[in-house]
Amino acid sequence: MTDDKNTMEDLVSLCKRRGFVYPASEIYGGINGFWDFGPLGVQLKNNIRDHWWKSMVECTPAGPDGQPLQIVGLDSAIIQNPKTWEASGHVEGFNDPMVDCRECKTRFRVDKIATVTFSKDGDEILSTHIETESASTAFEDAIASLNSKQRKLLKKAGNDVKTSARFLNDTGDGSAVACPLCGGELTEPKMFNLMFETFVGAVRNDDARAYLRPETAQGIFLNYKNVLDTMRVKVPFGVAQIGKAFRNEITPRNFVFRSREFEQMEMEFFCHPDESGRWYEFWKQHRMEWWKSLGISEQNLRFREHGKEELAHYSDACVDIEYRYPFTAPDFGELEGIAHRGCFDLSAHQDYSKIKMEYFDHGGKEADDSRYIPHVIEPASGLTRGTLVLLCEAYTPDPDRPSGVYMKFDPKFAPIKAGILPLVARDGMPEKAVGLYMDLRKDFMVELDIKQNIGKRYARQDEIGTPFCFTIDGQTGEDGTVTVRYRDSLQQERINIDGVKKFLAEKL
């Protein structure tokens, strides 16, 4: 556990140091919940984005019958008519219950604070109030919250000490839990809407109030009729979108995992109600395979079916694809949700807009079957979270190399595909390196790095996860070969400089 916490700290530090992710507005002390992607982070993120788009829209998956599915793209505005969010239920329902401390005024989510009690033989030894992610992290956080006197008490109690955690949202009793920071009394829970508000136009009144979208999905539902009327699609078909979404989280945390501004990759798949169960299963399996195809190891991925009680207001069934993040380990955290949204959204928009959302199936054999509101299966994943997962997955400590760590990206997703390095900055080597660079850069994202000790340059390429380095040395002038250095094995071999392009094309 401590190892995993350190992993996260090290990763955040590497991300900053090597240009993957910077805290937003750092020169002004930052802004809680916002992050900027640096030069390498944006390449990594774009690689995931393009792969999703290609596999979802440009070269759609084959359906159960082996035929390619019909899925088209969309890019809707972040700000929509506010009626959208009334219909979707977000104005009423998109709330987190929260409490404030009456003393120190800090605000907490009720499902994130707990009282942990240590007891032995039925007698309470001591209890502590903590802020924690989940039941699986409560014990560790409780231990960390103890002062030295409490630690001694616990030590003195010896073995067989039992621990129990009561979360505020489980007790339903505000007085059962006190402020984790100052021990102060907490207010009654209050709902807090997670949508960012703004005003459109010159006047600031209720009519002008608008919201930053908390999900990209509604932009798709708004355009369901447009797509149906203007594209040559028939049910079943999908509409896919990648874009920013915003949630005014009370407690942004865990690096870019829970941030207030993030990118989603969502697809709404419209199908016949009777076939929705089948499509739900299809997408569930398909999306898991997709994440595995990114090089994420199977043991770090799992499904988690939502219980009835935790389903969102719009959802008939939902399964998460979870990843074992360093900050949740040994537990898992959400990466993608595949939701069976039923006809909730289209029906709601039909009610609010009075625009018919029915689909008329010209091929329907029976009258009953030919006119219906499609059901929707939604694989909704985070591009920001996907990027975080590839960063976590790639992070590989290795005390035997100078950098102490390397980023083991699948070459397809590595921000830089190859480093081109003259061994020294003289004897004609830089010129040859420039020549190779100029030849490769049209086809691959490559980097030329001429100056500095070669060991330091290799160390940097390890830390940014460059799978191959081509080194121009004295022998290059003699026999036209360069060294290929493999990031993962550290193995080196010589290949002809003219064969480098082919080598890269085969590896990528």
Give the 3-state secondary structure of residue 326: coil
**CB of 94 or CB of 437, closer to a copy of itself:** 437
Shortest distance, CB of residue 80 to a copy of itself, whole angstroms? Answer: 5
Contacts of 195 (CB under 8 A, 6+ apart): 85, 90, 91, 94, 211, 212, 214, 246, 247, 248
**CB of 62 or CB of 144, closer to a copy of itself:** 62
Shortest distance, CB of residue 226 to a copy of itself, whole angstroms? Answer: 5
Shortest distance, CB of residue 289 to a copy of itself, whole angstroms? Answer: 18
**CB of 200 or CB of 490, closer to a copy of itself:** 200
Type and span of the H or E element at 359: strand 359-360
Distance from the first to the final alpha carbon of the chain: 35
Asked whether the beta carbons of 494 and 458 are under 8 A apart, the reply is no
Shortest distance, CB of residue 38 to a copy of itself, whole angstroms? Answer: 6
Q: Is 490 left (phi over 0), alpha (psi -120 to 50) or beta?
A: left
Shortest distance, CB of residue 92 to a copy of itself, whole angstroms? Answer: 17
Shortest distance, CB of residue 233 to a copy of itself, whole angstroms? Answer: 9
Determine how many CB atoms are found less than 10 A away from the CB of residue 53: 16
**CB of 39 or CB of 273, closer to a copy of itself:** 39
Shortest distance, CB of residue 192 to a copy of itself, whole angstroms? Answer: 6
- β-pairing verdict for 446-448 and 418-422: parallel
Count CA atoms closer than 13 A to 19's CA, side-chain side.
11
**CB of 222 or CB of 484, closer to a copy of itself:** 222
Token pair in block for residue 114: 């707990």
**CB of 76 or CB of 276, closer to a copy of itself:** 76
Encode 245-275: b = buried (16+ Cβ within 10 Å), e = exposed: bbbbbbbbebbbbbbbbbbbbbbbbbbbeeb
**CB of 70 or CB of 115, closer to a copy of itself:** 70
Contacts of 179 (CB under 8 A, 6+ apart): 101, 103, 104, 106, 108, 129, 185, 186
Shortest distance, CB of residue 469 to a copy of itself, whole angstroms? Answer: 14
Shortest distance, CB of residue 391 to a copy of itself, whole angstroms? Answer: 15
Nearest CA to 33 out of 45, 42, 24, 41 is that of 24
**CB of 221 or CB of 332, closer to a copy of itself:** 221
Rounded CA-CA distance 448/433 in Å is 7
H helix intervals, 158-223: 168-171, 217-222
Shortest distance, CB of residue 51 to a copy of itself, whole angstroms? Answer: 13
Phi and psi angles of residue 87, each rounded to the nearest 5 degrees, phi first: -60, -40
**CB of 161 or CB of 438, closer to a copy of itself:** 438
**CB of 242 or CB of 339, closer to a copy of itself:** 242
Shortest distance, CB of residue 122 to a copy of itself, whole angstroms? Answer: 40
Type and span of the H or E element at 382: strand 375-382
Residue 226 carries which DSSP code? Answer: H
DSSP 227-266: HHHHS---SSEEEEEEEEEE---SS-BTTTTB-SEEEEEE
Shortest distance, CB of residue 126 to a copy of itself, whole angstroms? Answer: 31
**CB of 152 or CB of 356, closer to a copy of itself:** 356
**CB of 3 or CB of 351, closer to a copy of itself:** 351
Nearest CA to 198 out of 208, 188, 190, 189 is that of 208
Could you tell me how many residues make up the chain?
A: 508
